[in-house]
């Protein structure tokens, strides 16, 4: 387990968590002044998210640590950046609530299966696409380019559909997992 922490995909997930701090500081201190740095950091965050999963699968570095730290990093990034983007009045409250409720449900159900059954539920592909869409929406929200703001308003509704679909799949798998475990 200790050795797993130093696998490249897990290090990338830790880096992603660490990148939240300077991103949040820059956004909260003066987004207009630091906008380009924030955009670069957000791109870095989402690239490392894609890269860690690719490396883990390609080089057979999927670990129990990675199954926990990767989705945790995703949720922290999305929730922290989402709250700040909302605080800056760049996304609607109802969208932020949907994002947070989705992530908290997945986190709670994941913790339940891990603690009770020692099973870590992997994220699903539609969930990854939903997280990517949320990331794109948050990124486009801070660009301050009018055309992108218009596009973003439509992307929010696509993201809602992806969130609902991926959450349904995750909950279905959760219920199947705990149902299967009850009869063992």
What pLDDT was estimated at residue 15? 96
d(CA 70, CA 48): 10
Domain spans in the chain, listed from the N-terminal domain onward: 3-179
Note the pLDDT tens digit of each residue in 90-119: 999 999 999 999 989 888 888 888 888 888
DSSP string, 43-88: HHHHHHHHHHHHHHHHTT---HHHHHHHHHHHHHHHHHHHHHHHHT
**pTM (2 d.p.):** 0.89
CA atoms of 110 and 96, how far apart (whole Å): 21
The correct CATH number of 3-179 out of 1.20.120, 1.10.8, 1.10.3470, 1.10.20 is 1.20.120
Identify the DSSP state of 184: -
Sign of the CA dihedral 24, 88, 105, 153? Answer: negative
pLDDT in tens, 127-180: 888 988 999 999 999 998 889 988 998 999 999 999 999 999 988 988 888 887
């Amino acid at each position: 387990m200790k050795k797993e922490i130093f696998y490249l995909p897990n290090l990338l997930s830790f880096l992603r968590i660490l990148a939240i701090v300077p991103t949040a500081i820059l956004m909260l201190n003066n987004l207009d002044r630091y906008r380009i740095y924030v955009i670069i950091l957000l791109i870095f965050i989402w690239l490392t998210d894609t890269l860690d999963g690719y490396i883990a699968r390609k080089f057979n570095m999927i670990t129990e640590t990675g199954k926990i730290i990767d989705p945790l990093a995703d949720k922290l990034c999305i929730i922290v950046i989402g709250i700040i983007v909302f605080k800056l009045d760049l996304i609607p409250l109802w969208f932020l609530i949907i994002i947070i409720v989705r992530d908290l449900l997945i986190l709670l159900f994941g913790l339940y299966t891990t603690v009770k059954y020692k099973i870590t539920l992997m994220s699903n592909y539609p969930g990854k696409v939903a997280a990517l869409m949320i990331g794109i929406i948050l990124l486009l929200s801070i660009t301050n380019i009018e055309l992108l703001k218009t596009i973003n308003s439509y992307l929010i509704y696509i993201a809602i559909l992806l969130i609902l679909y991926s959450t349904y799949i995750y909950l279905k798998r959760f219920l199947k997992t705990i149902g299967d475990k009850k009869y063992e």
